[in-house]
Amino acid sequence: MANLVSLAEIKDFLVIKVINTDEDGRLANIATQVSSLVESYCGRIFAANNYTEYFDGGISSVFVAYPPLNRVDEVSHFDGKDYVILGGPGVNGEPIITDGTSHSITNVGNPVLSTRVKKFNRSSLKLDGSSYVQTDSTEDWNFGVDPFTIETQVRLDNVASSHTIASSGLIANNSHWQFEVDLINGAQFRVIENNIVKINVSQGSNTGYSANQFYHMAIVRDNTTIKIYRNGTSIASLTTANSIPNFNNGIFVGSGTHSLTGYLDDFKISHIAEYTSNFTAPTYPTRIDENTKLMLRFDGANNTNVIADVSRRVNQFSFYPVTGEITFNTGNGGGTEALGFFRPLKFYNYPKGVKVTYNGGYTTIPSDLKLATLEMVKVIYKGRSGSESVRMQGEDISSHKLSLDGFPPQVRRVLNLYRLIE
């Protein structure tokens, strides 16, 4: 549990000089005790954290235990065999406006889903070096000189050979682009047109890779700058105005000059520069938005091969950040209807059948809650006579009796604003 106030904030509030460390131990203990007491009284944890909760189905809305909602990573409901993942809304719960339709996916060879090895959700895509998946041909792959991002989680079975993450075009005709981890050059993105190299972004060495470990790999174009990122760190960069053509034969995921032997998870293509500087690699499933043009979750039962583009599967639930409500009833056409006189949209009716993974709580503790916590620290630190407590700074000179729950009334008034009552 993280304390609601820091030692420095306590000493500033109590007007104790920083250099005076005689009472630091006692103050730190009091801070922990008060933080625990406040969270117990309010029935919640305040500091932001990641959670997974399960709820009974058969209802339209659920409320998470630790609002406010900062991020909703997954909402799924059990259909009798497995949890069906629902397409989400925007970052604040608002509907996502999309154009076009999902792309058709063709399996070549024997690509299968593996639940034993995965980065996110239920499974990842296992490739054996002779199999891959291919998209249809579309204008979505006409990158030209515009911003775009290709990103995925990749886990290589070995680092003693080259592995193509994705490509497009005809390798034999020397007109193609490909994104790979090369045995000699490491991460590399090359565009060749009519046997002429138009773009070559290369790490320059095959260092920093280990077998059987997931890496977030991304190729990003931001105007005239093309960068390759590994786990959020730029490892190659090139400035060029050259265009990336549409080779009109789709995207080959896991195939090109070389084939990939290993696993892929969350393969995404966006018409935007998702990253323009170093970043923290995703620790949760990649979000879909209006800029997403391909999203392969590779999510399903073990050893199956049904692979779908879910880039347009959005707005199947909504949420309200402040209250922590997640609702399946999103209006006309949303969700799966249940039988009933008014036909309300409800989660499938299974015990513990609704799964919600989210980040909840406060990234910054609210000022009024901090002030109330500091006042309670002051009460305990300075002590009180009988049932009387010290006053908050700036109030009148009279003291206030403590309430039955142990908090001064001015503190309790603030805490009641944050208290969750079932």
Two structure tokens written together for 96: 């996502």
Domain C-terminal end among 240, 265, 296: 296
Q: 199 with 184, same domain?
A: yes
Q: 226 with 258, same domain?
A: yes
Is the residue at 118 inside a domain?
yes
Q: How confident is the model at residue 342, as a pLDDT?
A: 52
Domain C-terminal end among 310, 331, 360: 360
Is the residue at 91 inside a domain?
no
Is the residue at 309 inside a domain?
no
Q: How confident is the model at residue 53, as a pLDDT?
A: 97
Q: 339 with 207, same domain?
A: no
Q: 104 with 223, same domain?
A: yes
SS3 (DSSP) at 368: helix
Is the residue at 61 inside a domain?
yes
Number of residues in the chain? 422
Is the residue at 305 inside a domain?
no
Range of the domain at 374: 7-46+363-418
Q: What is the tally of structural domains in the chain?
A: 3
Q: 32 with 112, same domain?
A: no
Q: 265 with 250, same domain?
A: yes
Q: Angle CA(129)–CA(135)–CA(138) in degrees, nearest 5?
A: 145
Residue from 369, 372, 360, 356 nearest 408 by CA: 372
Residue 302: DSSP 8-state:
T
200: domain CATH number is 2.60.120.200
Whole-angstrom distance, CA of residue 366 vs CA of residue 373: 11
Q: 113 with 142, same domain?
A: yes
Two structure tokens written together for 62: 């659920």
Residues 6+ apart with CB under 8 A from 153: 119, 120, 124, 214, 215, 216, 217, 264, 265, 266, 282
E strand residue ranges, 183-260: 186-193, 196-202, 214-222, 225-230, 233-239, 252-253
Is the residue at 1 inside a domain?
no
- The model's pTM is 0.83
Q: 344 with 378, same domain?
A: no
Q: 266 with 170, same domain?
A: yes
Domain C-terminal end among 310, 338, 360: 360
Sign of the torsion angle spanned by Cα atoms 73, 78, 84, 86 = negative
Residues 6+ apart with CB under 8 A from 184: 205, 206
| Helical residues (DSSP H) of 254-319, grouped into ranges | none
Two structure tokens written together for 54: 């399960």
Q: 12 with 26, same domain?
A: yes
Q: 37 with 60, same domain?
A: no
**pLDDT tens profile 312-333:** 999 999 999 999 999 988 766 5
Q: How confident is the model at residue 21, as a pLDDT?
A: 87
For residue 250, the one-letter residue type is G
Contact 5, 374 (CB under 8 A): yes
Q: 224 with 137, same domain?
A: yes
SS (H, E, C) 86-126: CCCCCCCCCCCCCCCCCCCEEEECCCEEECCCCCCCCCEEE
Is the residue at 338 inside a domain?
yes
Is the residue at 307 inside a domain?
no
Q: Which residues of the chain have pLDDT under 70?
A: 331-344, 384-405, 422
**pLDDT tens profile 379-396:** 888 874 344 444 434 444
